[in-house]
Amino acid sequence: MTEVEKGPRGLRRGRGARERIVSASQQLFREQGINGTGMDQLCAAAEVSKRTLYQHFAGKDELIAECLRRFDPDVLPEVFDRADLTPRERLLAVFEVHAPLCPFIAAAVEIPDPEHPARVYARDYKVAFAARLTEAAREAGAREPEQLGEQLALLLDGASARTRVLNAETLSTAAAIAAVLVANAIPTTPTPAPTPTPAPTPTPASATSAAAPTAARASAPATSAAAAAGAGAVTADPASHGRA
C-alpha cells in the first residue's frame, strides 16, 4: 500500500504522487488536449503542489513524453502476443481494438517541433507498430510483408483520425478494407510448383562409335554380293549371244 499523507495545504503527497500526476495528465490530455491543459489544472487534478510536480518532472514536455511512453510500451501485446491466433488473424484483430484517438497522433498534431521529446517518442512508436505488423505479415506468408505492414498501419491511423473528426465509428469499415488487403497479399493455399519435363536421356558417345563399325561391316557383304551378281550378268551375256 502506498503511503500518502496530507501536506500543509491539504494536498496529498507521498510515494504515489508521481503516479497520480501521470494518471491525471493522461486523462486531461485525452479529454481536452495537450495545449488545453495547464500545469495548475494538472496539479489540482493530481492533488499535488507545483513544487511536488517539478520534483518529479522537469516540465510539461517531459510529462507529455512520459505519458506517451506508458500508453503502450509493448506495442499491443494483447494482439501480437496471442498464441491462440494465427499470424493472419492477428493482422485483422488489430482492427477490433476500439480505442479513442491515438495519443501519438494527437501529440504530433498539437506539438509542431519534430524534435520535441513527445514527437520523437510518437515517431518511434509508429515505426515499432508497423514493424510488428510486418513481422506478423511475414509469419503469415505475405508476398511483400513490409508493404502490407505499412498499408495496415496507415489504414489504422487513418481510421483513428477519421473517427475523431466525424465523431463516428469507422473501424468496422477499416477492418473490411484490411481483410481485402490481407487476402490479396497472403495466398490462402500454396501454389503447386510446375512439374518439370524430364530431359531426354543422352546416348553415350562410346555406344555411337561402336555402332558405326558394326553397321559398316554389316553393309559390306551386301555390297560385295551385289557387285558379284553384276559381274556375272555381264559375263553371261556374250556367251549367250554366241550360242544364239
- 223-233 confidence digits (pLDDT tens): 444 444 444 44
Residue 123 has pLDDT above 90, yes or no: yes
pLDDT-derived band at 188, boundaries 50, 70, 90: confident
With 0-12 / 13-18 / 19 or more C-beta atoms within 10 angstroms meaning exposed / middle / buried, residue 79 is: buried
CA atoms within 13 A on the CB side of 127: 6
**Contact 175/96 with Cβ under 8 angstroms?**
yes
Q: How far is CA 148 from the centre of its chain?
A: 5
Q: Which residues are paired to 12 by β-bridges?
A: 6
**Contact 143/185 with Cβ under 8 angstroms?**
yes
**Contact 160/101 with Cβ under 8 angstroms?**
yes
Output the CA–CA distances (angstroms, integers) from residue 144 to 149, 185, 224, 227, in the order listed. 9, 7, 76, 79
Q: Which three cell numbers stand for residue 229?
A: 551378281
Q: Which residues are paired to 6 by β-bridges?
A: 12
- 17-41 confidence digits (pLDDT tens): 999 999 999 999 999 999 999 999 9
Q: How far apart are alpha carbons 125 and 34 in whole angstroms?
A: 18
Mean pLDDT of the chain: 80
Task: Read off the pLDDT of each residue in 129-137 and give the average, rounded to a whole number.
Answer: 97
Residue 148 has pLDDT above 50, yes or no: yes
